[in-house]
């Protein structure tokens, strides 16, 4: 037996591999395919939710054949923090991913002010050691996992997460009848697609005919932005139809769970970056194989932290109970007994280079929000958002005052410390009921829940400045990103039909490390990395073993060895 650099079998069992091994063992013989149709910056302004401003025939069909969720919420009203929750099943305030683009400064903000990030360090989120990006667990259970193609997780993901991640990644590239989890991400509804220089989609509604939310002034720029947003939604619906048609053409639609959702609310001001339903409530439609529960609606409250655990459950994999998220789909679906039961929580922190700090909780009908920086206006000065011409019209309300009572938020130069809305009676959330006597008991209960969430997650948004966050919480004690320890390789030569093969075991001292490997004949290799779940055998003609260890938030380490020596 040859060991490099001296494996300990105790490390093998303590090295963060058991969750993957257990997950693979738990997978059923028949595993459904799962497809995520993820769109950007879109509230439920579509036919299945009663908004018929533009036709959405493909989403209407998906809803007829599936289940429409009425109370689905993002964990943050902006993409990167929200996506960190989707991929990990953890609240971004727990894992240090609550500040928008913690590792990629906004070019628009820097163009306006080259000093915008002078006091803001670059860093990655750091989940607890037991957390994995959930597609890694699917791959360990035999799934082919693809992402086309946005990630934006606030950290560099391990090589073990995706079989393919590129604009060309597709479930059609799998081996034979291998079950698949495929993410398709549509950018055509993104905030930027309403910018003046963005391509205009075919007009399904004109600016004159677009519905006007009551908090917006009636100006040409506002109407144009709304019309472009709706027309982008209509174009997106065609994209949904194309993805469904691909599954039908391959006779796979009735063996696939299709999940459609948006990464947060509408990409217009007072939607995106705002802790209102317009920023946090998202469409969610799930179509099951055989159209199970077709045409039904589900009113339970679900959050982005629940999505990853639910996909694992659909695949027959029991999610780690320590995750913030709870599966609401599949055989392991359950309810919680703590502050999370029936409630969705959200944060708003730094957006590009400009700070905000809000915490919010909703039970699906009532929303309680705490503004921790009440001296700020509702629309903080964000350079990227200001590329929308309508933003200037909204800023003008601070000078002229509101044209109607519903515009009081956009006209205010400060915010109340607390807000409370009945989003059923007041769907645009413009009537703050925080002082209403008949709601005081309910407000007190939501305050208590919000406090419990902040305490339970050790909310890292309160650790400021971010230089302190990095030194004390992310990369202590000096704020320098550590490297993941290299893999320890244990090899044993065996004879197979007169030829030499090698049984290989891998381990890493860091229990948070994912371990990926690939085999080749030479040092220069390409192709997908395999997820290490336990000892494997390598044929003698593929003797070069390349291994990568990667704890999320730390630097990955790549090592290699010729099995049996040079």
- Looking up tokens 């998906």, which residue turns up? 62
What is the pLDDT at residue 13? 26
Of 79, 145, 358, 508, which is the active-site residue?
A: 79
Cα–Cα distance measured from residue 39 to residue 411, given in angstroms and rounded to the nearest whole number: 31
> Rounded to two decimals, what is the model's pTM?
0.94
The pLDDT of residue 566 is 64
79 as an active site residue: the answer is: yes
Q: How far is CA 269 from CA 204, 232, 291, 308, 391, in A?
A: 22, 17, 37, 29, 7
Q: Render pLDDT for 318-349 as a digit per residue (tens, 0 to 9).
A: 999 999 999 999 999 999 999 999 999 999 99
**Domain ranges across the chain:** 1-17+484-566, 31-474
Separation CA 401–CA 398 (nearest Å):
6
CATH class held by domain 1-17+484-566: mainly beta
Residues 56 and 129 sit within 8 Å (Cβ to Cβ): no
Specify the pLDDT at position 15. Answer: 32
Assigned CATH class of 31-474: alpha beta
What is the per-residue pLDDT across 141-150, written as a single tens digit (0 to 9) for each?
Answer: 999 999 999 9
pLDDT band at 1 (very low <50, low <70, confident <90, very high): very low
The three-point CA angle 557-558-563 to 5° equals 140
d(CA 239, CA 285): 15
**Would you say 397 and 377 are in contact if contact means Cβ atoms under 8 Å apart?**
no
Q: What is the pLDDT of residue 523?
A: 80
Q: What is the pLDDT of residue 8?
A: 28
């Amino acid at each position: 037996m040859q060991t490099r650099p001296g494996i300990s079998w105790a490390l093998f069992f303590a090295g963060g591999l058991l969750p993957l091994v257990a997950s693979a063992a738990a997978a059923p013989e028949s595993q459904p395919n799962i497809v995520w149709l993820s769109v950007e910056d879109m509230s439920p302004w579509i036919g299945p939710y009663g908004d018929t401003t533009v036709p959405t025939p493909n989403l209407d069909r998906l809803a007829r054949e599936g289940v429409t969720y009425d109370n689905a919420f993002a964990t943050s009203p902006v993409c990167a923090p929200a996506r960190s929750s989707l991929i990990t099943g953890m609240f971004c305030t727990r894992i240090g991913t609550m500040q928008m683009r913690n590792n990629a400064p906004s070019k628009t903000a820097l163009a306006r002010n080259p000093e915008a990030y002078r006091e803001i360090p670059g860093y990655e989120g750091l989940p607890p050691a037991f957390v994995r990006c959930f597609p890694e667990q699917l791959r360990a259970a035999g799934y082919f996992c693809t992402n086309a193609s946005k990630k934006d997780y606030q950290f560099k993901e391990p090589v073990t997460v995706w079989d393919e991640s590129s604009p060309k990644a597709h479930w059609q590239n799998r081996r034979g009848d291998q079950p698949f989890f495929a993410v398709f991400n549509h950018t055509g509804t993104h905030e930027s697609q309403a910018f003046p220089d963005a391509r205009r989609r075919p007009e399904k509604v004109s600016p004159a005919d677009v519905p006007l939310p009551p908090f917006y002034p009636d100006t040409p720029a506002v109407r144009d932005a709304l019309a472009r947003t709706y027309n982008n939604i209509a174009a997106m619906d065609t994209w949904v139809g194309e993805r469904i048609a691909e599954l039908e053409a391959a006779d796979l639609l009735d063996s696939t769970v299709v999940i459609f959702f948006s990464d947060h609310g509408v990409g217009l001001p007072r939607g995106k970056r705002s802790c209102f339903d317009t920023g946090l409530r998202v469409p969610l439609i799930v179509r099951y194989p055989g159209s199970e529960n077709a045409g039904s609606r589900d009113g339970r409250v679900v959050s982005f932290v629940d999505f990853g655990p639910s996909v694992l459950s659909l695949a027959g994999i029991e999610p780690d109970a320590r995750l913030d998220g709870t599966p609401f789909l599949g055989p392991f679906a359950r309810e919680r007994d703590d502050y999370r039961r029936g409630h969705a929580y959200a944060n708003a922190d730094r957006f590009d280079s400009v700070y905000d700090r809000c915490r919010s909780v909703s039970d699906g009908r009532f929303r309680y929000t705490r503004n921790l920086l009440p001296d700020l206006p509702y629309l903080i000065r964000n350079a990227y958002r200001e590329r929308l011409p309508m933003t200037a019209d909204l800023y003008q309300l601070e000078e002229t005052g509101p044209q109607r009572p519903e515009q009081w938020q956009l006209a205010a130069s400060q915010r109340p410390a607390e807000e409370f809305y009945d989003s059923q009676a007041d769907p645009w959330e413009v009537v703050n009921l925080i002082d209403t006597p008949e709601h005081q008991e309910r407000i007190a209960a939501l305050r208590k829940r919000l406090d419990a969430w902040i305490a339970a997650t050790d909310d890292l948004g309160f650790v400021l400045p971010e230089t302190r966050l990095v030194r004390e919480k992310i990369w202590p004690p000096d704020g320098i990103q550590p490297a993941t320890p290299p893999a320890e390789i244990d090899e044993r030569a065996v004879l197979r039909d007169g030829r030499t093969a090698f049984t290989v075991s891998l381990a890493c001292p860091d229990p948070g490390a994912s371990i990926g490997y690939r085999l080749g004949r030479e040092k220069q290799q390409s192709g997908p990395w395999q997820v290490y779940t336990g000892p494997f055998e390598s044929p003698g003609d593929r003797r070069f073993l390349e291994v990568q260890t990667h704890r999320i938030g730390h630097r990955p380490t790549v090592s290699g060895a010729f099995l049996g020596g040079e």
